Structures are given as structure tokens and as C-alpha cells.
Amino acid sequence: MSEVEPSVLLIAGRFSVRGSCAYSLRLAEHLPQRGFRTSVVCPDARTLDRERRRELHIDELSHLDWPLWGTVVRSILLRRLVANPPDLIHIQSRAALCQGMWLSRHLQRPFILTVHDYLQPDERCRIDTKWCRRIIAVSDSVRADLLERTPLPEGLVTVIHSGVDRASSCDLLKVFKPNRVPVVGTAGPLEAVKGFPFFLGAAARVLATGREVEFLIAGAGPEESNLRRLSRELGINDKVTFVPNLLDFDDALAAMDVFVLPSLQQGIGTIMLDAMAMGRPVIATRVGGVYCAVHDNETGLLVPPSNSEILAERIVELLDDQSKAQAIGSAGRELVERDFGVNGMIDQTAAVYRAVLERATALQPA
């Protein structure tokens, strides 16, 4: 490596309020403190204010991810970078893999890929192993799925858990505050794989018991209209609040007394980790990397996926035993602070960068 700070280009997908985007922002914010100069390229950063984009050196290139126009945009980006190329390219998700590998080949720079979730049944993940130096999986479960579904060598795939920031003192307010209706909530991109219809089914069952509870769904996505319609069909729309227009989930999570992750598949659950960092007791489905953080009846409650009945029972369990809910929330917060802090993620990622760059230097001709 050169004596100047090595530069890393983060190739990201469209920024939205979701865990993989928070991952990119945390890297861009913290890596300079570890001696790396970072910049971010993405096709859409409208959810971020201009000042934050400027501070984190985020370059928005519209249509970068389009099949036709993307070729033109990538060529423009290449011309910008060719005179002073980055030392390393870090592709932030499979959604940005095509663009990132193209730049890697044309700039002749090594790349790293982070995989946040599972390959789809008909998905073929083609990795250019000539320039790929490491793949980061966010959980052991994601790593196992990737190795089972692809011919990638085991040594290429490293597990680094997503890290979250420590919650501020104002977000650590006690759950189930006196003289306030309890709020049971969930958050994330409103997509079919996230299992939100089962959350609404559970909400209907809980409300049918006569308990006074409010339900909250924070996030936006293609399933929003279907979920709103289901809420009306279940007759619970007056007890369910949708909050789609958010820059982040902090305020929504702070408003919840219980956080529910009803996903059908889940790489690890970064938004769930954020909720745990705030001391919110969580109920999560037994899928994927959730096991990394949620130990049943200790740091959270676990339920089978696609089962509104059992999910409702476990919600009622916490509503009726608020001391247990608070104890689970405290245990979850301690686990996240110990094992899923953002500093640990950044340190491990920086170590991968250094290993890759040192290898690249060693391979250069004398």
C-alpha cells in the first residue's frame, strides 16, 4: 500500500430506509477514522439530505442501475475515475454487483462484495473471481446458503455481522410507560418476503381479545397498498398506523414497546438489531441469521414464520408480563452492544481491506 490513505469506492444500490443502506452509510461515516478515504456511488440518494451526501462524499448517478442507460452512466463514471482510480472497490450488495464488477474490470482494481440475504430460487450469482478478493456475508446462515448455491471457495467468504450504533439515552426510555396505550410495531421495506401480512393477522387476533393496543408499520415499498387493504379487510385499520415517509427508523422504533420481525427470510435483521439496541423486546421468526442475536426467552422471543396465531400468543405474553418484556429488552440491548456494535463491524471490515490491499501490493512487479 502507498503511504497515503488508501481510497475505497463503495458501490451502492438505491438508498432507502433499510438495513443494507444503513450498512453503507455506517461504513462511509466510520471508515475514515480507520485510515481509509471513502466515496460512495449510487443511482438514487434522494432519501438523504444534501449536507449528509456532501459529508460522506456520496455521488448520485441516475440510471446507473438501468440495463441500457446504465452502460452510458458507467462509462461517464469510468472517465471520472480513470485518472485517479480507487485502491479498492467495495460492492455493497448483489443489487450493485453488475456495476461494481464492470468498474473493477475496467479500472483493474480488486473488489469486495457484501451479501446481506439469500439467493432467490432462480438466481445465478456470477462472481468475477479474477478481481474478487473477498465476499462478506452478514451471518453464518447467509454464508452457508451462498456456498451451497455457488461454486465459490470457502476461503473467499468471510462472516462480518452488521453493526449498529449505540442507542442514545433518549431512545432508552422504559417501555410500557404508565398511562399510555402499548404500541407493538414492525419496520422495514414493505416487501412480500418480510411477512407483514402475518403481523397484521396477529394484530387482529390480539385486538379480538379486547386488549387496548396500537400497532405500527414503519416503511415503504411495493406491498404498502396490499397491507393497507388487508388492514381494512381485517377491520383493524383504526388500530394500525402506517408511517411510510421516513429518513430513518429511529423515531418509529422509539415509539414502540415491542418490536416484531415477521420475515419469511432474513439475512440477519439490522433494523431488529437497532430496536434491540434501544432496549425494545423483540419477537422474531425462526429464520436465517436471526439466531445470531435472538435467543428464545432470553434476548427475544422466537416464533415460526407464516404463523399469525403463535405470533399473537407471544405478543400477548409480553403485553401481560411487562416485567418479562423489560428484562428481555435489557438482555437484548446488552447482547447487541457487546456483539453487534458498529465499531466491531468497522474494525473487521478495515482488517479485510488491509489484507486485500497488502496482497495487491505484494503481487505488484518490483
Residue 122's pLDDT is: 85
Residue 47's pLDDT is: 85
CATH number of 169-339: 3.40.50.2000
Residue 167's pLDDT is: 77
> Is 85 within 8 Å of 109 (Cβ atoms)?
yes
Listed range (1-5, 120-124, 226-230) with the worst mean pLDDT: 1-5
**Residue 179 predicted with pLDDT over 80:** yes
Residue 346's pLDDT is: 98
Q: How confident is the model at residue 15 (pLDDT cuts 50, 70, 90)?
A: confident
User: Listing from the earlier edge strand, what are the strands of the sheet with 157-159?
Assistant: 58-60, 37-42, 7-11, 88-91, 111-115, 132-137, 157-159
DSSP string, 1-57: --SSPPEEEEE-----SSHHHHHHHHHHHHGGGGT-EEEEEES--TTS-HHHHHHTT
pLDDT digits (tens, 9 = 90+) for 264-288: 999 899 999 999 999 999 999 999 8
Q: What mean pLDDT is reported for the chain? A: 93
Q: How much is the average pLDDT of 60-66?
A: 92
Kindly state the percentage of the chain with pLDDT values over 70.
96
**Residue 1 predicted with pLDDT over 50:** no
Domain assignments of the chain as residue spans, ordered by start: 7-163+341-363, 169-339
Q: What are phi and psi of 35, to 5 degrees?
A: 95, 20
Residue 183's pLDDT is: 98
Helix (H, G, I), strand (E, B) or coil at 78: helix
pLDDT digits (tens, 9 = 90+) for 121-139: 888 888 999 999 999 999 9
DSSP string, 133-189: EEEEESSHHHHHHHHHHS---GGGEEE----BPPPPGGGGPPSS-TTS--EEEEES-
Q: Which residues pair with 361 in a beta bridge?
A: none
* 239 vs 232: CA distance, rounded Å: 10
> Is 325 within 8 Å of 276 (Cβ atoms)?
no
Assigned CATH topology for domain 7-163+341-363: Rossmann fold (3.40.50)
- Contacts from 29-33 at CB under 8 Å and sequence distance 24+? 29/56, 30/342, 30/343, 30/346, 31/346, 31/349, 31/350, 33/346
